[in-house]
């Protein structure tokens, strides 16, 4: 069996040629191997191509991110937008922290009450005892 790979540049693209040859055409084992490998090559080369496009999209996204950062840092409208956004974020997170503290206090009161009642034997003085 022989495997040959050749890369050539064609304009803005790269052409990858893969050639696999040299098997016994009468052997079921080789025929099965080639059936499996041909599908594997299609999947592998497709994944390679999609990763290339993912990299291009990532680089474009990174460029847009840096352009947005420059806009927000160097212009008056950008700085005003950042100030408003930070104000909303502070308000939002202060509500979350306040809510979490309130829930924690409620849990402490409920657990403390349960422990207190458990130590007392579970009885509560009420109107029925009078």
User: What pLDDT score was predicted for residue 109?
Assistant: 95
Predicted confidence (pLDDT) per residue in 80-94, tens digit: 888 998 999 999 889
Please provide residue 12's backbone torsions phi and psi, each rounded to the nearest 5 degrees. Answer: -90, 0
pLDDT band at 103 (very low <50, low <70, confident <90, very high): very high
pLDDT band at 128 (very low <50, low <70, confident <90, very high): low
Contact 78, 72 (CB under 8 A): yes
Which residues have C-beta within 8 Å of that of residue 33, sequence separation ≥ 6? Answer: 23
pTM here is: 0.37
The residues that bridge with 16 in the sheet, in sequence order, are 7
Going by DSSP bridges, is the β-strand pair 13-21/2-10 parallel, antiparallel, or unpaired?
A: antiparallel
């Amino acid at each position: 069996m022989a495997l040959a790979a050749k890369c050539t540049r064609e304009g803005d693209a790269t052409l990858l040629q893969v050639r696999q040859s040299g098997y016994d055409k009468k052997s079921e084992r080789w025929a099965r191997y080639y059936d499996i490998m041909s599908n594997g090559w299609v999947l592998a080369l497709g994944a390679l191509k999609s990763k290339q496009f993912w990299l291009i999209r990532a680089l474009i996204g990174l460029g847009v991110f840096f352009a947005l950062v420059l806009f927000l840092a160097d212009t008056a409208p950008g700085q005003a937008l950042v100030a408003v956004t930070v104000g909303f974020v502070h308000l939002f997170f202060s509500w979350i922290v306040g809510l979490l503290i309130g829930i924690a206090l409620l849990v402490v009161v409920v657990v403390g009450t349960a422990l207190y009642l458990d130590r007392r034997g579970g009885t509560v003085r009420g109107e029925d005892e009078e």
